[in-house]
Structure 1
Amino acid sequence: MSDAGEEPLEETEEDGGTEMEEEEEDYNSYYRERESMPQKLKEDDMLEEGEGGEGGKEEAVREKTEEKAAAAGEEVAAGVQEETTVKPQEITKSKISLEKLTVTDSQSIMSGTFLKTHSGDESKRASEHSETNELFRDLSSQRRFLDLEQISSEELQISSPDSQPSSKLGQKTHQMPQDESGQEGTDLEAEKGERIQDKRLSYLKIPEDSLVATSEDILFQKDDRANVYPLTLTWSFGWNSSLPVYYIRDESQRVLLYVCAHTAVIYNVFNNNQHHLQGHPNVISCLCISEDRRWIATADKGPNCLIIIWDSFTGIPVHTIFDSCPEGNGIGAIAITRDAKYLATISDAEIQKVCIWRWTLAVETPACTLDLPKEYGFQNYLIFNPTNNKELVSNSKTQAIYYLWCEERDILAHSAPHLTEKTFNKLVGKLTQSVFHLNLTQILSATMEGKLVVWDIYRPPSSASASLDFPHIKPCKLVHLQKEGITVLTTVDSYIVTGDIRGNIKFYDRTLSIVNWYSHFKLSSIRTLSFSKTPAAPPTEKSNYPPDCTLKGDLFIVRNLIIGTSDATVYHLTTDGTKLEKLFVEPKDAICAISCHPYQPLLAIGSFCGMIKVWDYEKKKYLFSRVFEKGLGIQSLTYNPEGVLLGAGFTEGTVYILDAMSLENQTPEPFKYSRTSVTHVSFSHDSQYMATADVRFTVSVYVVVVRNGHRVWEYLARLRSHRKSICSLLFGVHLDSNEPRLLSLGKDRLLIEYNLLKSSKDHLEVLDIHRTDQGNYPTCMVWYPPLTRELFLLICNSGYKVKLFNSTTKMCRKTLLGPVYGSSIEQVQILPVKSTLELQKRYMVFINRDKVGLQILPVDGNPHKTSAIICHPSGVAGMTVSYDGCYAFTAGGHDRSVVQWEINLSALEAAVSLGGEDLTPFYGLVAGGREGKFYRELEDYFYYSQLRSQGIDTMETREVSEHICLSELPFVMRAVGFYPSEEKIEDMFNEIRFSEYVDTGKLVDKINLPDFFKVYLNHRPPFGNTMRGIQHSFDILGFTNSKGEKVIRREDFLKLLLTKGEHMTEEEMCDCFATLFGLNPEGWKSEPAASSIKGSEICFEEQLPDEITAEIFTTDILGLTISQDFTQD
């Protein structure tokens, strides 16, 4: 492979356009052997295939089909454009090479559907035709592959065996893609074409109904199927402006394709409806679409990444490639051939891998791969040669790479000449996108300096050894097209098109002479250009095409196009009349703030770019918006209970109070009492108070006062009440006085209530402070609905627990296992009810790191009472619920999207019913279930504790009871492997003691086995004790020794046990070590047995090493076995 020469090449400087000599298309013998198959040989082969009889029965079927095919051929010859209806072939073989069944070039289309081979060896062709004959002979099994060349690209569809649509074959295409080498076939005589068509159709035995034919309109037909999921995506607000937007339907529909987080959205502009292509577990990183707009390929970036190919006519995923990137980094670039037969991908890894996929076959491995050196830079753009499926080009910011796929040898050769400023003695700039020249053997690469690098493709002469030399590229020219940096480079019809950072769109001819441009629209930087599939209509008297800028002044006729810009705006340009229409404008920065109106179907969305948009989420209609000055990013939004005000907190500390319907300021000046981002805004129930919290742990309060007969908002006071970030700010109501109460919850584990009545100017009074947890930190809180006579405050923590605190005493009354979906709950809201009849059946909506879910109340630890779905793989930033409880909305933060979820409570209730009653759902939470070893041991320990409480040495008759006293509960818990702290034990006691107090006024002092089992499941760590957790404690408490290990000295270890946390007495510590070291009989305090050795007689110097590691503590001291499960979270 040769690179650019040492001497600098010339740069052609022409601002308007550059004259370039026309180069004729030169395909040497390297390609001719595969491309130039004599037409006569094709016909002879096909006639031989057609005449090979298969028996009397098959001959009769063939003759019958020939009669229909002959009639169809006569209509084609007569110029009658009529749809032909065929049935699919059901092929028994599961795999077959697409090269064996292909369509000939555009001239052959008018003669019917042909079979063609690519091998030059006649005997090989004969064997392939024999194999193909055998495949078509058996029609009993399912179709197992896609043959994209056997049928028109407009007619393709994958259907399931259960539901195969029967419709007419698509209309005859006006233009058929060339074959793989790009060479067109010769014209056939009409009579000979009809005869060959008859023979081909006879050979194929095509039935009447087509498996692959479908209508483009089927995607948006109304679906009356019942919603079977608790949460269903119904609308996506926003789009990922870093990825292209494609124009996939004609003017009659105007349908777009774009990406919103991990979902591809097909949007019908005229009908204002969306179809969502869901299936990716991570954010979609790249996508592409076939030339006929039928096949969509999407890929994501992250663990367990997927490549999915979709049928845009039906929205069905027709093929999914798993494990496409074993390194787990995902896909960085993707491309599809013009005929949609092959996919190419480049991984997003340090060592990038280029893969070619035969996606139409039932294979999960690429046809060939190539690892790219790191010196090439990160390749972020990839495209096929539209006239040759075996050629590709990709580029990074500094390097363009040409690829040639030698399919026969499974080799992906490449050429990557080094390009520097010395190459042309000129500044080149960073590369952005590359394309193949329209009709020359050249590649064009655009740069951010407004230049085009022209690469010549050099192919080896026919005399060269094919095994030693491959085509390569060399930089030959640097063309200075314009002053503005080029961000988009593409081709359409006979034009080379550029989009630049100034919003200009320019069209050049094959010689790079400028033909026309659009520069008066004043657009932002162009991110994507997508032209209509339908060619521009010929000019008529009513046409208003502009003239081009050539000397001839011909009409500039080009297809309509979709324009996507860097400010997340999408436009439609109608070239006939030069009409620019703004389709939608979405936030270009992160979206963290969303809020639903309290009694209208309105959704307010705030972005870091300073935009607030208000939508009617039922009609899916944008209503109004406001864009604040630069530097003001919206961090939080909240409607007041009356729905007339909208409180907005900004990233630089400003607080605005806006009119909910006009977004105009309701205060003369915004409040500016914080220097950091305002994360929470909350209103009291009577809208007399507004409170905010910022990232510097400060709570601020604002109050309504009367000035000159007008109600105005004023600042009251602020207080830095927490030591760590505030996760919730909540107003409530004093039941006895109906006065508002304000509480804040921080990750410092403090729940603080403020005394608003005693607060004054610049003084925020604290009423009380309570610590909510020991090891875990709280994440959010909400008022628990009145399902019982006792009023609770629900607090979720990082340990997957849901805790209920008495709203007055702040006593922890219950600890329950919350939803466990990979991360702890970060925000909760109680679902509003539509009527008073639903008050006794309540539900909770929650979000964690990347999911949104539903929980049936009351929470009891039943895993079947919850459901969740991935909503934003890169992280959820906020959540809100509609006033009627029908929808939930999630904001994706940096993915710049908001998703609307329809709530179906019946589906969730059905899942609970299927999960069983009583203890049945809980048995699955322990190993082996009810009949497993663990539960049997738990029963044994439960009843053994009765023996111990009655006395081990007694000879009296035993009384077996269904209950044990509460004092035995900690010992049974520790016996089954759960070691609660003293505070957790006290929480268990309170939970059991007061379980019936509200109803009966009595305390409970015993517990039965089923209740004990539930308490155990709800209080234990959801993943048990892990080595990682123990090691984390040693990392904090210990130091690094000479071996690089985190250790704790023996003296420090004993001192920690006696002085820190729930510290022991010296007697307790010695008794514990005596039992652990086997110096005391079993039981210690639980059995009144005499100790054989006094605690003071233990020699810690002999029993404990000088330095204690996490492994020594776990295995040698505690005597636990470190298994593989124990070392994982």
Structure 2
Amino acid sequence: MEEVDDKEFEDVNSESEGIVDEKEFEEAAVDTGGTDVTTRQRSQVYTATSDTLFQEAAKDTRTHSLSLEWVFGMNPTLPAFSLQDQHQLVVLYAGAHVGIVYNHTSNSQHTLQGHRHNITCTCASDNRRWIATADQGPNNTVIVWDSYSGIPVNTLFNCHPKRGVTAMAFSTDAKHLVTLSAEEVQSVCIWDWTSQTEEPLWRVELTSKCGFQDCILFNPADSTQLLSRSNTNVIFYTRALGTLQYFAMKLKKYSRETPGRFKIPDTFMNPNMADMSLSQSVFHCRNPHILTVTTAGNILVWDITPFLAADQSLHKEIFKIISLQKINITCIATTDSLIITGDTRGNITFYDEDFRYLMRYIDFKLDPIVSMSFSKECTKGFLGGCNLKTEPLVIRNIVVSTIRSFVHVNVQKGTAQILLYKDCEPLHAVTCHPQKPIVAIANEMGGLKLWDYNDKVLLYNKLFVTEKNIKCLTFDPRGLLLAVGTDTGTVHILDFSGQTETLQSLRCTQDSIHLISFSDDSMYLATADAGKAVTVFRWKKESSWALIGRYHSHYKPIKDLLFGLHPDSSLPRLLSLGMDRWLVEYDLENSTANELLILSTERVEQSAVPMCMAWYPSTTSEQFLLVASDQYKIKLFNSTTKMCRKTVLGPTYGSPIKKVFILPATEDVKANFRCMAFIIKDKVGLQILPLDGNPFKSNALVCHPAGVSAFACSHDGRFVFTAGESDCTVLSWETNLTALEAASALGGEDMLPFYSLLEGGREGKFYREMEDFFFYCQIHHQGIDAMERRQISTEIPLTEVPPLMRALAFFPTEREIEDMTNEVKYSKYAETGNYITKIDLEGFIKLYVNHRPAFGISSDEFAQAFRVLGDSDSDGQRVLQRHELLEFVRDRGENMTEEEVAECFTTLLGLDEEEEEEEEEGEEGKLSKREEFQSGSEDSEPTLECVIPEEISLETFTCDILGFPSSIAS
């Protein structure tokens, strides 16, 4: 981030206005007394011009594995700002967590990336050289950018720590930036952002009586004055008396005798005056007045002179009302000597500084106007209208934000041009054409758009009037059909080969369709709905889809639906994966009309919840199915036997994988180099294949801070598209697999990445303990009491793996032990036909870091278990009864015998140690406590009463029984 000091700011700011000369340059250097001319000339900010940004963007070479290439859509609640208007038409707006500088002339974008949360407000200086963006949330930031180079020049960290910023503005000279917090008790801070200070120059807190302020701005004629507004209050701020003071101006019930400079018209004397909504407020362009829009086209004029006087009377609120027009005004702005309003009918009306009507644009047929931004370039001309004055006026073009679009208005020519349409609805679906550079995007209100993502051209726009809330999209493998799934249970099949008209609408359920998949030969179409059922259609020769059947195959929501090919016959096969942990395969070959058959079912997880699946590219004759779970694990299953053949640690970037795509092989990387794209809660990432648990083989970055709803990959693997549900945007990310491979190499080769996953690394205490345990297992296998010469080896048999895992505080279930054994045993069977029965230390380390829990056991998991399984005692604390605990341990999950339960509790409660002490003391004829426990529930009851209470709390279970620190139960 490039620093900007006062001197450089003054030079750059003056130069952008075209008034810098040699004398001013020298004076600025003397005032700040720091940076020399050579350093300043080398600065990219100082040397940038208005043409620099997009010239540099054209030469940009991608050096990251994922680079943001384009933003489709925008934040519909934020305005657009005019940055350039003369040679190029450039505007600023925001989408998701990035600011977007859009060049309409060249149809290109430059994105301003640096926020970790969605941008909540933006502003630009009067000379349009400086841009500020801000967000809300933990570790929120305000970033000031140079609009000429796109470089961030200053960042304010946590200037409002609790919530962030809801509004901000630059002063006229751009040296000060004011921020308005989004907290319940709001504060206003004025910053000298050109300096190195981390504290505001002025700060004031507002009382709750002021209402929630959502807009703030400086007085263009006097930077010591500001105003903010809420629906009920207008607040005036002044620094005239040396400190930042504010005065709340609230509408009250006035009588005729109300004192004030202005006479209040009789038409304004009514008891409902306090209920008026103060939607827009600005400073008058010349007089010490604040103009506030009220109802029915009226303007409320506040006189702020009393607040600037030394003997001010704060109980007096002086105002008058002016009726400008009959149409409701939605926006008001001032520029130069003009007052301009926008209304609910999209009209733009010009008044002079005395509120005399000049002219109105009524032919643009715009939507209701939200805001207006004036160009920095201006000309002198005449506005036609009723005014008899003939003096030329300063005329600036306008970028108008309406409720549906951004529009550029050329005031002198009297023309309007729509720059961008707003997507104001949440997005749930995105998909890519299998052969062409086309991406399809659908929103909650039934809008479907097709974009050429190479040329950034909108190809098709359709609105489903009766079937709204599109949930999913997919092209068939030939690219001739586009299937659209809706919230009403209808699937629309669009003919993409012709005019993209609807060929057929399929409906056999009223449940929402959230997954659609085509078979590889495009002969089958399958859907999964919110009713936890799978529906299959088949293409008939009569150019229509016929229903095969619908099967309620899961008892929890279906997470993924996948077509594939049988390894032997190459016939289509269909699988579904549910949150119930079942993988279901359907018998398409033997299914007939209205009868969908199940071929097999397999439980793929014990405690983890599967999230998605994909066909794994394999270099051997075996075909594997990749399944990712919510416990940050990725498993590979043999597609035929459904045996788990490999378990690896997946990407750990704060949340588990939601969806994966295997990128196609490309020519720009070495042979056999494949990659997997994935999304998690708020990030998109890439993972190098083959999967082995190496954490340096993956990379992810924030794509939609509020949550990513869907993603898709281009047919050539060059782009990844992510859709943000609530931020109404789709982001296009360009992939660079060469950069990903280079970044992976920085993590080290061979075992170095896996050593980094161990506590303390290769030189740590834990690794030395692991070595000791490993070689002790060799001794244990050969016999601890054996007297013959030991056989030195670097391997241990697979039978020693489970106790070694437990010695390292990882306690796998019997199924997990079976998965670990099969993983090693069959690791080379496809190539050699032989089983592997031993494992070395390096192989064991990989097995350990991939199979153990990614983040251990948290106190929240224990608390959740007691909330679900326990009952409330007299104090409201969740407890388990002793007999319930024994029943859960014995019968739930993997069943345990009475002997196994006895052994576990004997070990946990330290009963073995007591037996050893008794034996050492020589006590005989006494039944050991272990034997008492194993003798049956009746005989063991006295022993249990001694060591386990009747009611077991969370603290008792975690601390007294399991032996965890007391902090885990807090």
TM-score (normalizing by structure 1): 0.78
Q: Alignment partner for residue 882 of structure 2, among 1021, 1036, 1050?
A: 1050
1:780, CA displacement in angstroms? 0.8
- Asked whether the equivalents of residues 11 and 28 of structure 2 are also in contact (C-alpha less than 8 Å), the reply is no
CA distance in 2, matches of 1:201, 1:374: 44
Contact 1:777/1:797 (8 A) holds in 2: yes
Quote how far apart the aligned CAs of 1:1082 are: 11
| 432, 435, 457: which one aligns with 1:599 | 435
Q: Which residue of 1 aligns with 2:233?
A: 399
Report if aligned partners of 2:381, 2:393 keep a CA contact under 8 Å in 1: no
2:161 is the alignment partner of 1:326: yes
1:425-473 Cα shifts (integer Å, max 9, x gaps): 2455322221111222211222465433322214368664xxxx69897
For residue 586 of structure 1, report the CA deviation from its aligned partner.
4.0
Structure 2 residue corresponding to 1:534, chosen from 354, 361, 377: 377
Q: Residue 1010 of structure 1 corresponds to which residue in structure 2?
A: 842
One-letter amino acid of the counterpart of residue 344, structure 2: I
Partner of 1:118: none
Of the three residues 940, 958, 966, the one matched with 1:1114 is: 958
What is the match of residue 367 of structure 2? 524
How does 1:545-624 map onto structure 2 within 5 Å? 547-550=384-387, 558-567=395-404, 569-624=405-460
Q: Decide which moves more: 953-962 or 336-345.
A: 953-962
How far the C-alpha of 1:1075 sits from its partner, in A, is: 1.6
Match of 1:418 among 222, 239, 250: 250
* Cα distance, 1:378 vs structure 2: 1.8
1:342 aligns with 2:176: yes
Partner of 1:375: 209
- Assess if the C-alpha contact under 8 Å between 1:744 and 1:751 holds in 2: yes
Whole-Å separation in 1 of the counterparts to 2:890 and 2:562: 39
Q: 1:741 to 1:475 in 2, by over 3 A?
A: farther
| 1:490 aligned partner | 333
**CA apart distance, 1:663:** 5.3
Residues 470 and 1007 (structure 1 numbering): CA distance in 2 closer, same or farther, change over 3 Å?
farther
The verdict on how the C-alpha distance between 1:1095 and 1:395 changes in structure 2, with shifts beyond 3 A counting, is: farther
| Distance in 2 between residues matched to 1:199 and 1:833, nearest whole Å | 59
Give the structure 1 partner of residue 520 of structure 2: 685
Contact 2:669/2:737 (<8 A) preserved: no
Asked if the contact 1:548–1:554 (Cα under 8 Å) also holds between the matched residues in 2, the reply is no
SS in structure 2 of the partner of residue 219 of structure 1: helix
Q: Look up the equivalent residue of 2:112 and give its one-letter code.
A: L
Match of 1:638 among 458, 461, 474: 474
Tell me how far apart the structure 2 counterparts of residues 699 and 562 of structure 1 sit (CA, whole Å).
49
SS of residue paired to 2:901: helix
SS across alignment from 1:925: coil
Does the aligned pair in 2 maintain the 1:557–1:575 contact within 8 Å? Answer: no
Q: Cα distance, 1:720 vs. partner?
A: 2.4
- Taking the TM superposition and a 5 Å limit, the aligned residue runs for 1:435-450 are 435-447=282-294, 449-450=296-297
1:702 shift after superposition = 1.9
The correspondence of residues 99-118 of structure 1 with structure 2, limited to 5 A, is none
State the partner residue of 2:196.
Answer: 362
Q: 2:146 aligns with which of 297, 300, 311?
A: 311
Alignment partner of 1:738 is 2:575: no
Q: Is the 8 A contact 1:333 1:346 kept in 2?
A: yes
For residues 924-963 of structure 1, the aligned pairs below 5 Å read 924-963=756-795
Query: Gaps (5+ residues) in structure 1?
Result: 1-141, 157-169, 175-193, 540-544, 1085-1089
**Residue 257 (str. 1) matches residue 92 (str. 2):** yes
DSSP 3-state at the match of 2:853: coil
User: Which structure: greater strand fraction?
Assistant: 2
* 1:462-493 CA distance string (max 9 Å, x none): 664xxxx6989725234444444433221122
> Which consecutive residues of structure 2, in runs of 5 or more, have no partner in the other structure?
256-268, 917-923, 934-939
Question: Which stretch shows the higher mean deviation, 445-454 or 196-205?
Answer: 196-205
Measured after TM superposition, the shift of residue 579 of structure 1 is: 1.4
Change (3 A) 1:461 1:502: closer
With over 3 angstroms needed to count, the CA separation of the structure-2 counterparts of 1:514 and 1:144, relative to structure 1, is closer
Structure 2 residue matching 1:1075: 3-state secondary structure: helix
Q: CA RMSD in A?
A: 2.9
Match of 1:53 in 2: none
Could you tell me whether the CA contact under 8 Å between 2:561 and 2:576 is conserved in 1? yes
Judged with a 3 Å threshold, the aligned counterparts in structure 2 of structure 1 residues 231 and 448 are, in CA distance, closer, same or farther, namely farther
Q: Answer yes or no: is the 8 Å Cα contact 1:147–1:360 preserved in 2.
A: no
Q: TM-score under structure 2 normalisation?
A: 0.91
Structure 1 residue 294 and structure 2 residue 129: aligned? yes
Match of 1:429 in 2: 276
1:388 aligns with 2:222: yes
Matches for 1:689-768 after TM superposition, within 5 Å: 689-707=524-542, 711-768=543-600
Q: Compute the displacement of 1:1100 (Å).
A: 0.6
Q: Any conservation in 1 of the 2:11–2:25 contact (CA below 8 Å)?
A: no
Q: Does 1:1100 align with 2:938?
A: no
Deviation of 1:334 (Å): 1.0
Change (3 A) 1:957 1:148: closer
The 1:198–1:273 alpha-carbon spacing in structure 2 relative to 1, beyond 3 Å, is closer
Give the 3-state SS of the residue equivalent to 1:319 in structure 2. Answer: strand
Secondary structure (helix, strand or coil) at the match of 1:216 reads: coil
1:69 maps to none
Listed one character per residue, the Cα deviations across residues 960-990 of structure 1 (whole Å, up to 9, x for unaligned) are 4322222222211111111212221221122
The amino acid that maps onto 2:399 is I
1:900-1049 alignment, distance < 5 Å: 900-1049=732-881
**Equivalent residues of 1:593, 1:636 under 8 A apart:** yes
Kept in 2: contact 1:516–1:556 (CA 8 A): no
Deviations 1:537-569 (A, max 9, x none): 436xxxxx6x223356988873211122212x2
Q: Tell me the secondary structure at the aligned position of residue 250 of structure 2.
A: coil
Q: What is the number of equivalent residue pairs in this alignment? A: 929
The one-letter code matched in structure 1 to 2:355 is: L
CA shift for structure 1 position 573: 1.4
User: Aligned partner of 2:378: which letter?
Assistant: P
Contact 1:242 1:527 in 2 (8 A): no
Indicate the residue corresponding to 1:798 in structure 2. 630
Q: Whole-Å Cα distance in 2 between the matches of residues 361 and 519 of structure 1? A: 46
Quote how far apart the aligned CAs of 1:221 are.
Answer: 0.9
Residue 536 to residue 1031, structure 1, CA distance change in 2 (3 Å):
same
Deviation (angstroms), 1:784? 0.4
Identity level (%): 43
- Distance of 2:591 and 2:470 partners within structure 1: 29
Distance 2:240 2:840 in 1: 74
Task: Specify which of 305, 313, 319 is matched with residue 476 of structure 1.
Answer: 319
Change (3 A) 1:149 1:788: closer
Q: Contact between 2:4 and 2:194, CA under 8 Å: does it hold in 1?
A: no
814 and 203 in structure 1: CA distance in 2 versus 1, 3 angstrom threshold: closer
What does 1:1082-1093 align with in structure 2 at a 5 Å threshold? 1093=929
Instruction: Give the match for residue 298 of structure 2.
Output: 451
Are the counterparts in 2 of residues 453 and 475 from structure 1 also a CA contact under 8 Å?
Answer: no
Change beyond 3 A, Cα 1:459–1:213: farther
- The separation in 1 between residues aligned to 2:400 and 2:787, in whole angstroms, is 91
Cα separation, 2, equivalents of 1:787 and 1:472: 83
For residues 461 and 976 of structure 1, the distance between their equivalents in structure 2, rounded to whole angstroms, comes to 74
- Whether the 8 Å contact between 1:874 and 1:895 is mirrored in structure 2 is yes
* Equivalent residue for 1:896, pick from 720, 728, 753: 728
The 2-side partners of 1:518 and 1:248 are apart by 23
Q: What displacement does 1:664 show?
A: 3.1
Give the alignment partner of residue 6 of structure 2, picking from 131, 146, 154.
146
Q: Structure 1 pair 802/463, CA: closer, same or farther in 2 (3 Å)?
A: closer
Deviations 1:683-724 (A, max 9, x none): 1111111112222222222221123xxx22233322222222
Give the distance between the partners of 1:879 and 1:1082, measured in 2 at CA.
60
